[in-house]
Amino acid sequence: VSSISCSARAPAIALVDCNNFYVSCERVFNPALAGRPVVVLSNNDGCVVARSNEAKALGIAMGSPFFACRDLLRRNNGRACSSNYSLYGDMSFRVMQTLQQFAGEVEIYSIDEAFLRCPRPRDAGLTAWGQAIRRTVAQHTGIPGTIGIAATKTLAKIAARIAKRDPARGGVFDCTGHPDIDRLLAGIDVAEVWGIGHRHARKLNGCGIDTACQLKYADDGFIRKHCTIAGLRTVLELRGESCLPLEQAPPPRQAIGSSRSFGRPVRSLAALREAVSEYVSRAAEKLRRQQATAGSLVVYVMTSLHSPHAPRYANALTCRLPVRTAYTPELIRQAHAGLERLYRPGYCYKKAGILLTDIGPDARRQLPVFADGAYTGAQQRLMGAVDRINARYGSNTVQCASSGTAKTWSMQRRYMSRCFTTRWSDIPVARA
Ligand SMILES: [Mg+2]
């Protein structure tokens, strides 16, 4: 245990979890979806990736193919939405902005979850503080949320789960100072505990550990042996010893990827070149947003791995860039050179992607004086202007010609809502 640092005296931690986040985002802008079964579909409208409570009640499983539940939805006056990640990303940003006003320390854990350091409780206690957060987030964004408050992150996750299960708690459950936490933990499956994966859960079940309470009192040595040091940290957290600190600034990403499955299979090199050009543009934008450059680039293509009769092919190639850069045309040129070496005619390609790697800050780059493609000041100013135009007027207002205009390969999104918060032309209009 000596290698684990714990702080038992720190103030409590709250987990704020948005309810049915993607569905809630859709409902904010389409109130007709309220109270009806709603699902959000994965890219190309393939599988269910989010469900409203009404859709869960119909027995629609997470990940189930859309064709398998389409009729069930229709019969129950339900709706399917294509995933609209621009909308969800922007709504998430707004929720997180609102949370910042309630706590000095906020860890954005996922698109719809954040951990907050609680203030020292006053007379009203932390439940009232949690209710104020819920009210304010709902007022600013229209998104409903659930809040769990506890001594550790792992317990806060469990508290939020209990609050979600029991509507009588009004969406907030503060279990700090609860007289019988063991009884609460006895009602939680070990597989539901944050950080216990399915594999470890099965192993624990096999040893007679079925609930979070049994896990809490398991032998340290046994847990360390079977669930590693990470498992032991989880157990200590269940005992109320905080071992997982709030991580406020995630380290800059070491790789930036962009890839998509095509809306329909792609055969020609020309279409692949367009798609790769588009993916490079998206990734380069993210690279510049974190004021970084890339030293290396991976490009890959693959056919469907599921169609048993069509010939299969998948391959990837890494290109070392002659100079570090974030200049889109240069990155596209390199990616196209790689793609031409990867491409084999005669296949139906299902997916292509690129990955920018060896990412470092701008300042670290060294300019060889005579190098071709050096990331010059003029290039940087050009990219800055392109990024500003696209941020203001919408993605791809200005784009490289090599990304094409028809984009016949692009994703199918038949049921997509508009970009209500990120595109001027899509902003809802209030009628008098
Ligand atoms: Mg959620």
What pLDDT digit, counting tens, does each position of 206-237 carry? 999 999 999 999 999 999 999 999 999 999 99
Q: Which two tokens stand for residue 412?
A: 């199918």
CA of 74 to the centre of ligand 1 (A): 25
pLDDT confidence of residue 427: 86
Measured between its terminal Cα atoms, the distance across the chain in Å is: 65
Distance (Å, rounded) from C-alpha 281 to C-alpha 260?
A: 13
Question: What is the helix (H) or strand (E) element at residue 10, kind and residue range?
Answer: none
Distance (Å, rounded) from C-alpha 294 to C-alpha 317?
A: 16
pLDDT at 324 over 50: yes
CA of 25 to the centre of ligand 1 (A): 12
Q: Mean pLDDT across the stretch 110-135?
A: 89
Distance (Å, rounded) from C-alpha 30 to C-alpha 305?
A: 37
CA of 17 to the centre of ligand 1 (A): 5
- Which phi and psi angles does 354 have, rounded to 5°? -135, 160
pLDDT at 364 over 60: no
pLDDT confidence of residue 85: 82
CA of 370 to the centre of ligand 1 (A): 52
pLDDT at 363 over 60: no
CA of 134 to the centre of ligand 1 (A): 14
Q: Mean pLDDT across the stretch 54-77?
A: 95
3-state secondary structure of 373: coil
Residue reference for tokens 């906020």:
106
CA of 10 to the centre of ligand 1 (A): 26
CA of 114 to the centre of ligand 1 (A): 10
Show the beta-strand stretches assigned E in 35-99. 38-41, 48-51, 79-82
CA of 40 to the centre of ligand 1 (A): 14
Distance (Å, rounded) from C-alpha 69 to C-alpha 10?
A: 47
CA of 146 to the centre of ligand 1 (A): 8
Q: Which two tokens stand for residue 233?
A: 């940290």
Residue reference for tokens 């987990």:
15
Q: Mean pLDDT across the stretch 143-170?
A: 96
Contacts of 124 (CB under 8 A, 6+ apart): none
Length of the chain: 432
Under the banding of pLDDT at 50, 70 and 90, the label for residue 252 is: low
Distance of CA 123 to the CA centre of its chain: 37
Q: What angle do CA 272, 355, 280 make, to 5 degrees?
A: 50
- Which phi and psi angles does 145 have, rounded to 5°? -140, 170
Q: Mean pLDDT across the stretch 371-395?
A: 85
Average pLDDT, the chain: 89
Contacts of 28 (CB under 8 A, 6+ apart): 91, 141, 142, 143
Distance (Å, rounded) from C-alpha 195 to C-alpha 237?
A: 11
Identify residues whose C-beta is under 5 A from ligand 1, the ion. Answer: 17-18, 112
CA of 22 to the centre of ligand 1 (A): 9
Contacts 24+ apart (CB under 8 A), 398-401: 399/278, 399/281, 400/277, 400/281, 400/328, 400/329, 400/332
pTM metric for this prediction: 0.73
Q: Contact 221/246 with Cβ under 8 angstroms? A: no
Distance (Å, rounded) from C-alpha 311 to C-alpha 348?
A: 8
CA of 88 to the centre of ligand 1 (A): 12
